[in-house]
Amino acid sequence: MLSLLAIAATMNVMAAINIDAKAKITISASGAESSLILIQSSDLNEGWNNGYCGEIYDLSEFPLALYVQYGGKNYASFGTKDLTSNDIVLAAKDNGASEYTITVSNATNTTPLKLMFGAKEIPFEDGTYTLTAAELAAATKVASAAVKGICNNYDKLQITGYAGAQLEVLNYADKASVFTETVAGDNVEIDLETKGLTANTQYFVKLTPAGETAKEYVIKYKPAVTPANP
């Protein structure tokens, strides 16, 4: 889920740009609910354009997760400045319900965009629509690999499902490299306190699996606090 840092950054971006299309999309079923934000604008900055802090990295943590499929990734929030297709493809995790409700709210659309849930088109305008379990299943693709801890304050980086990937952590401001290494196994925990990072500072993370494009994230390093002796 988005951290407070990411939400604040989102609000700042939204206030500063000219928006061509935007909407909040919500899916609900069996008491569970998940929302995402869609934005299209030629003014979007690097962060939004690359989906930083918006990628859903472990769908098993959500009883119902709505996301955008784009560029081989699943995004919990999504912004782009060069969407060439007319379709934005939505998908969600199946939580066993027989019917799902999709709500579009706060929609603005000056470009000919369409929302697609699998093969079902949903108008890019305020409204409520229903999906059957079969329609949901046809559009659902759950990723198994996970990178945990992204977009949160933490002292350790946990990487699951990316053995052999190249990991690089860089300064956020100037993208200077802080450290690089190869992920040694399928379940790896990297203690960031030993890597020379500065406390309470934002960093840029690149994870590049063999033969794939880099997965990119923004993190904020916060060392663990050792309780004082009584």
Residue 173, classified by CB atoms within 10 Å of its CB into exposed (0-12), middle (13-18) or buried (19+), is exposed
- The kind and range of the H/E element at 74 are strand 73-75
Return the C-alpha torsion angle 16, 20, 21, 22, nearest 10.
10
Is 60 exceeded by the pLDDT of residue 94? yes
pLDDT at position 129, please?
93
Q: Which residue has the tokens 């994230």?
A: 217
Is 50 exceeded by the pLDDT of residue 146? no
Q: Which of 149, 146, 118 has its CA nearest to residue 131?
A: 118
Proportion of the chain above pLDDT 90, given as a percent: 16
What token pair was written down for 24?
């909040």
The residues near 129 (Cβ < 8 Å, ≥ 6 apart) are: 101, 102, 103, 104, 122, 123
pLDDT higher at 181 or 124: 181
Give me the mean pLDDT over the 129-155 stretch: 66
